[in-house]
Amino acid sequence: MSGPDEPQWELLPDRPEDFFGLEGEYDVLDLKRKYNSFIRKFKPEKFPEEFQKIRAAYESLNDALRYGEPLPSSQNLQFDWSGESEQPDTELRAEFSGSPDTEPAHAPLNEASGRTQKTSLPERLKTESIQSLYEELQQQASKSPFDYYALAVFSDLLPETKGNFAGWILEGLKVHQEESGLFELLKQYFSQEIPLKQLASLLLKTSRIVNSDRFYYLTEKGWDRLIRHAPFKVFRKTLTNCEANLRDHRVDNLLVFYLHILKPGIWKASQKWIDQIFSEIDAHYEELPYWLEREYYLLDLLRQYRQQRETFLQESAIRATIDRAIRNYSLLPESEADLSFLECQLLLVSYEDDLLTEFPKLDKELLNLRILWELIADDVYERVEVYVEFGESEHRESQIQKLADQLFHENYGKRFQNITEIASTSYVLLFLSSVISIFYLIYRMFSSFWMSLLYIVLIALANFLFFVLAALASNWLRDRYYRAGWRFEIMRFFQTCWLPLDEVADELEALNGTMKDDVEYEELDEIANLMRLDPGLFIYITAQRLLHASH
């Protein structure tokens, strides 16, 4: 394979910590940063096999960290062989790979075969049929964890018992409740595409046997599939029935599970159920792990967006594109959701001026959307970002200086500057005339005190009203020029500069009040504020940055 520098693939799947370079004290966020750095290099569309290995290692380690479980290891899948053999279970899997029809004919255990009970099962498979061994193990009164594992594999190979793999693993867990090998096998089984009817039944059976706080960790992948592909009433009924069987589960595991399942649940569940789950989380918010606070904030914004969604859409192609990206981010697997989000950015960039026209101003609904969009974009950006060279600091400053000149000295900026100069002159003339009038009235006050005082109050009030109206007119004119010209110039600037919007706005604000060519920059701070409150501009700039980062 040609591509990025090779990681230490030999460390997978047994040593995911070492593979990701994690040591000492680390948490979910540290793992995510390491994972993102790997998949930026090994993108799923270019390196599908490598990506799957990295993703599987991340998921196993991430699940263990979130639920406070022992870290995954190949030792978790080792069984007590009860002195039967020293061979690893991988050899047994290889022996099982043949079809039952190709196995040797069944021979009596103690006569024709001449074997003793101490002969290992892999050895017996070479001369005896799977059917006979399955029946023997099934009738055996006392079974080891390995016996249940063997029965599970045999049941999948025999036509009349096919599909009973999980049933035998559950039977084993009923007897050997602390057996980590059986537990991990069942967890991996839940990661498969189990038929939905069978999945709901299996979840319920599992809750009767594994009825502690470990149930959520064990079955999370199964719930993911159920909520995404089954009718919501099936998911809700199954979850309610399962939770009725649980005993002694910890609140923090419950919170981890609910926050995980809410991401697709917000789009599939009833509003009543969503509000109920949020109420449960809010009641225990202080017990929420710190690394889940951002996830909670994102989910709360998704809930608000869902409530405002019908009003937001308004039969607009641009808004439908944004809505589709938000839904796909919540419902699709991570790599597919990232790809969908990037495809959305291509469409948004193509809209250009129409995008700015679609969102002419910021209101409360769009403020929530802007924050939600920013959180999603940041999450995707962390996974798709390659090294992006924004240039030296001096080069960036010169670019922003050029933008400031363009905004202040050209086109609408020049007009606005002339108007503000005329307004400033009128302020001075009005102030001087008012001062002269007041001094004259004070001089006349000795002959007509109350009348002079009334004139002074009226002049002061007229000045106050004039300044208020002038400020309102200035704000109106600034907003009008921003909508008509400045925002389009800023948009063009971001077609070749991929800095974050807030960073450029801060730089413009810092230039306000500075001098160049004997001219003082004015109103740049107000333009910067208008940029920060412009949802259409923010969405366009975000799209440009994401596309540039992902090539």
Dihedral angle, C-alpha 96, 99, 105, 109, nearest 10 °: 20
What is the arithmetic mean of pLDDT over 300-314? 91
What confidence score (pLDDT) does residue 534 get? 87
What is the arithmetic mean of pLDDT over 65-87? 60
Handedness of CA 468, 470, 474, 480 (dihedral sign): positive
| pLDDT over 60 at 477, yes or no | yes
| pLDDT over 70 at 121, yes or no | yes
What confidence score (pLDDT) does residue 471 get? 67
* First vs last C-alpha separation in the chain: 21
> Rg for the chain (alpha carbons), in Å?
34
What is the arithmetic mean of pLDDT over 507-531? 81
Per-residue model confidence as pLDDT tens digits over 343-377: 999 999 998 888 888 887 767 678 888 899 999 99
Per-residue model confidence as pLDDT tens digits over 40-61: 888 888 888 999 999 999 999 9
What confidence score (pLDDT) does residue 353 get? 84
What confidence score (pLDDT) does residue 396 get? 72
What confidence score (pLDDT) does residue 118 get? 60
Token representation of residue 354: 């129409």
Residues 69, 28 contacting (CB under 8 angstroms): no
Dihedral angle, C-alpha 147, 148, 152, 158, nearest 10 °: 50
From 214-218, 361-365, 524-528, 532-536, the region with the lowest mean pLDDT: 361-365
Q: pLDDT class for 74, splitting at 50, 70, 90? A: low
Q: pLDDT class for 282, splitting at 50, 70, 90? A: very high
Partners of residue 516 on adjacent β-strands: 519
What confidence score (pLDDT) does residue 223 get? 96
Residues in the chain: 551
Instruction: Specify the pTM.
Output: 0.78
Mean pLDDT of the chain: 80
User: DSSP code of 86?
Assistant: -
Question: Distance between CA atoms of 47 and 302, rounded to whole angstroms?
Answer: 32
The position carrying tokens 């490598």 is 50
Q: pLDDT class for 320, splitting at 50, 70, 90? A: very high
Question: Distance between CA atoms of 19 and 17, rounded to whole angstroms?
Answer: 5
What confidence score (pLDDT) does residue 428 get? 60
Residues 372, 305 contacting (CB under 8 angstroms): yes
Determine what percent of the chain falls in helix, strand and coil, rounding each to the nearest 5.
Answer: 75, 0, 25
| pLDDT over 90 at 105, yes or no | no
Residue-by-residue DSSP string for 346-382? HHHHHHTHHHHHH--S--HHHHHHHHHHHHHHHHHHH
Which residues does 497 contact at the CB level (< 8 Å), separation at least 6? 390, 396, 399, 504
What confidence score (pLDDT) does residue 40 get? 86
The domain spans of the chain are 9-72, 394-550
Token representation of residue 433: 């005339």
Q: What is the largest CA-CA distance in the chain?
A: 139
Question: Distance between CA atoms of 119 and 39, rounded to whole angstroms?
Answer: 47
What confidence score (pLDDT) does residue 302 get? 95
What is the arithmetic mean of pLDDT over 307-323? 90
Per-residue model confidence as pLDDT tens digits over 156-195: 888 877 778 999 999 999 999 888 889 999 999 999 999 9
Does residue 427 or residue 350 have the better pLDDT?
Answer: 350
| pLDDT over 90 at 516, yes or no | no
Residues 179, 172 contacting (CB under 8 angstroms): yes
| pLDDT over 60 at 79, yes or no | no
Burial class (CB in 10 A: 0-12, 13-18, 19+), 301: buried
Alpha helices in 246-333 (DSSP H): 251-268, 271-283, 293-313, 317-331
CATH of region 9-72 = 1.10.287
Per-residue model confidence as pLDDT tens digits over 384-417: 875 444 445 556 778 888 888 877 766 555 555 5
Most confident option among 23-27, 256-260, 362-366? 256-260
